[in-house]
């Protein structure tokens, strides 16, 4: 049997073809536009996702025996709001996870409804990127569109609906909507009432590895695939990435250096961070996880290299960096505001500490270190909850950089396990498809068999001590400039 994983990302859809033994046969990537109609807004057209995914599947399967394809599943960008009308037409462009327009709605939820009640209903508080504030924004700012809503769904679930005809979501992705009772794994009646929506407008919920249906006959025909190809629910991108790195079961950690950055801690027990700096979500393995999420991670390096330095040769930019732990330049990585642990949509990126002799290499180094320092902020919250982590897996585009992995290991004082495939969410999607098709009895069993560690980056005591001193300085920068950010925005 062959299995297709689909990672519906922010800049592109990535597709992977894998066999039962975990051998990757082919990977395809297809880009689509990202729109910023106003400062702080971020939108995409769901139709673009579907069109590029369909073309991607055709390209992915062109050279294989398509009759061997048994299932397809997904990882996908979380929190995005996709709304359809009675004719299943997309009402407006999708409002994405990194969109910051919902400050008023987020403040209303956190301050008037109250963080304590939100945490009681959903195990989380409101962040501007979450889906519930977006629904309230449409209700308040586009009432004519709100009145037309027949279906509310997340980005990857739009693909599942178009392919199978099943209106569905999974627990891990739905956890990030601020509409689900995470512990009870059901929609929250209180949150539906607050948002003015009904359960009929929300998808049926599944475990990430459960079959939601088969490809619709006309879709199977268009793709040249058998009618019996199963569509499996899939997971939010971070949960899918955790599956793809074997971060399942109890007490395991994964760091993702993608467009956004996350630290993901799996658990077989439900738990809530009382400070609400970390998200408490369901996991794709059927259990739970805590997660710290920063909005700009590898995207900081992409912005710095491509937009500022005007180069896409990332390796060359990093080749001259050799004085780790000694940089006097610091960088706050808040290009799109920040989620964990600050929950501040007004936060912005800034460099501090430059002098007349500051070099290009030191600026680049500061960007990479700033992302690692910000991820450590979330690790410190996890430590305060009594969670003890000694090692982590790593994935995402940034994980391809040996320098960045070394920084992560020493700034966070963790052993960083490098896996054979750093494909993360798209591999996780393929593994979920394999479990859904019965090739493996559970997500844990599949991950244990298919995910292989090939290297470990160990922290170096002397370098870790240098970075400890610099992290303590980094921690002071955001509180010192926080008040300026809102003034600048106004």
Binding region for substrate: 78-79
Q: Which residues are annotated as a binding site?
A: 78-79
> Which H/E stretch holds residue 155?
helix 155-164
Q: Is 432 exposed, middle or buried (0-12, 13-18, 19+ CB in 10 A)?
A: buried
Instruction: Establish how many alpha carbons lie within 13 A of residue 204's alpha carbon, considering only the half-sphere containing its beta carbon.
Output: 11
C-alpha angle 270/80/12, rounded to 5°? 110
Task: Give the residue among 240, 290, 299, 293 at the shortest CA–CA distance from 262.
Answer: 293
Pair of tokens at residue 284: 């794709």
Catalytic residue among 7, 99, 157, 237: 237
237 has catalytic annotation: yes
Residue holding tokens 């509310």? 152
Region for residue 134 given its phi and psi (left: phi exceeds 0; alpha: psi -120 to 50; beta: otherwise): alpha
Helix (H) or strand (E) holding 126: none
Structure token digits, residue 33: 């536009």
Distance of CA 359 to the CA centre of its chain: 33
In sequence order, what are the residues at sequence separation of 6 or more whose Cβ sits closer than 8 angstroms to the Cβ of residue 476?
none
Q: Where is 364: in which H helix or E strand?
A: helix 360-384
Task: Report how far residue 324's alpha carbon sits from residue 465's, in angstroms, rounded to the nearest whole number.
Answer: 11
Which helix (H) or strand (E) segment holds residue 450: the answer is helix 443-450
How far is it, in rounded angstroms, from Cα 298 to Cα 331? 14
Output the six-digit token pair for 184.
Answer: 């009870």
Catalytic residue IDs: 237
């Amino acid at each position: 049997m062959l299995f297709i994983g689909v990672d519906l990302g922010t800049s592109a859809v990535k597709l992977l073809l894998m066999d039962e033994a975990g051998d990757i046969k082919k990977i395809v990537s297809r880009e689509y536009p990202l729109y910023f109609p106003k400062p702080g807004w971020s939108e995409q057209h769901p139709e673009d996702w579907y069109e590029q995914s369909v073309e991607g599947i055709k390209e992915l399967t062109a050279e294989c025996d398509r009759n061997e394809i048994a299932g397809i599943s997904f990882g996908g960008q979380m929190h995005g709001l996709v709304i359809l009308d009675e004719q299943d037409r997309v009402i407006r462009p999708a409002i994405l996870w990194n969109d910051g327009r919902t400050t008023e709605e987020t403040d209303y939820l956190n301050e008037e409804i109250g963080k304590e009640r939100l945490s009681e209903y959903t195990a989380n508080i409101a962040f501007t990127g979450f889906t519930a504030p977006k629904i309230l924004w449409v209700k308040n700012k586009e009432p004519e569109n709100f009145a037309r809503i027949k279906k509310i769904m997340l980005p990857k679930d739009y693909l599942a609906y178009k392919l199978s005809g099943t209106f569905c979501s999974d627990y891990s992705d739905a956890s990030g909507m601020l509409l689900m009772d995470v512990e009870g794994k059901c929609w929250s009646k209180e949150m539906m009432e607050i948002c003015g929506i009904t359960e009929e407008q929300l998808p049926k919920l599944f475990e990430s590895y459960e079959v939601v249906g088969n490809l619709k006959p006309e879709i199977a025909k268009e793709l040249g695939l058998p009618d019996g190809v199963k569509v499996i629910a899939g997971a939010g991108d971070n949960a899918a990435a955790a599956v793809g790195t074997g971060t399942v079961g109890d007490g395991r950690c994964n760091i993702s250096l993608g467009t956004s950055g996350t630290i993901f801690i799996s658990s077989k027990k439900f738990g809530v961070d009382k400070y609400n700096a970390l998200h408490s979500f369901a996991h794709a393995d059927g259990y739970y996880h805590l997660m710290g999420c920063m909005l700009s991670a590898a995207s900081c390096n992409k912005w710095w290299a491509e937009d500022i330095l005007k180069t896409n040769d990332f390796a060359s930019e990093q080749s001259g960096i050799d004085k780790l732990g000694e940089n006097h330049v610091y960088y706050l990585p808040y290009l799109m505001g920040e989620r964990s642990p600050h929950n501040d949509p007004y936060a912005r990126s800034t460099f501090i500490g430059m002098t007349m002799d500051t070099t290009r290499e030191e600026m680049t180094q500061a960007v990479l270190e700033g992302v690692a320092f910000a991820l450590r902020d979330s690790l410190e919250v996890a430590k305060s909850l009594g969670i003890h982590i000694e090692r982590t897996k790593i994935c995402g585009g940034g994980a391809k950089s040996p320098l960045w992995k070394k920084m992560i290991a020493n700034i966070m004082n963790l052993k960083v396990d490098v896996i054979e495939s750093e494909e993360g969410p798209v591999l996780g999607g393929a593994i979920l498809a394999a479990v859904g098709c019965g090739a493996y009895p559970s997500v844990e069993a599949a991950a244990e068999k298919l995910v292989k560690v090939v290297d470990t980056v160990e922290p170096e005591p002397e370098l870790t001590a240098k970075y400890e001193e610099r992290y303590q300085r980094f921690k002071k920068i955001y509180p010192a400039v926080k008040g300026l950010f809102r003034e600048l925005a106004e």
